[in-house]
Amino acid sequence: MNIQIKTSGGIVQLPIETKLLADRKIFIQGEINHDSAVEFVKQLLILCKEDKEVPIDILINSPGGEITAGLLMYDVLQSCKTPIRMFCLGSAYSMAALIFASGKHGCRYMLEHSEVMLHEPLLGNRVGGNASSIKSISESLMDTRRKINKILALHTSKTEAEVEQATAFDHYFCPNEAIAFGLADAIADFTTIMEG
């Protein structure tokens, strides 16, 4: 989708993504995978290099996705020195919930009817192979679960045991529940996003 922008040289058409990026807004939408994670990192690099002081808004509406891709995004965000505001615009599930919750405390906003969902890591592919292979896959999955629960505990101020209990099944949080659990900080409206 293109939008028209009035410039000194006349009216030009720009892709809406270009205009939003110029306004320092990055979207995490759809499934998180290798390609979307790399695209996210590219956009973040551009904005951080452009200006380290002006905040960046990250707007999330995602069902989650691949753990390794999500952890790449998490690592980049944690080492980013530029101020970042997180917004949940509908749903932040699974890895998207982890990315949202990992935002700076006081800067994690949810729209009134959005929701966050946590659960244990899932096997993405059909399990097959010999007993040793299956045992190795199981151990790796348990290690990943511990790693994710540790990250969530860090950003929610809950114990790892409390996080493990909350992630033992698909646990959906409305904004008030997410705030109480430490996943979010405040309920925002569209004006808050526009003012950034």
* Active-site amino acid positions: 94, 119
| Residues shown for the chain | 196
- Judge contact between 101 and 152, C-beta under 8 A: yes
Q: Do the bridges between strand 10-15 and strand 2-7 make them parallel or antiparallel, or are there none, so unpaired? A: antiparallel
Q: How many CB atoms sit inside 10 A of residue 58's CB?
A: 24
In the chain, the amino acid numbered 138 is: S
Long-range contacts of 36-41 (CB under 8 A, 24+ apart): 36/65, 36/69, 37/66, 37/69, 37/70, 37/72, 37/73, 38/72, 40/73, 40/76, 41/72, 41/73, 41/76
Beta strands in the chain (DSSP E): 2-7, 10-15, 25-29, 56-62, 84-93, 108-111, 115-118, 171-173, 186-188
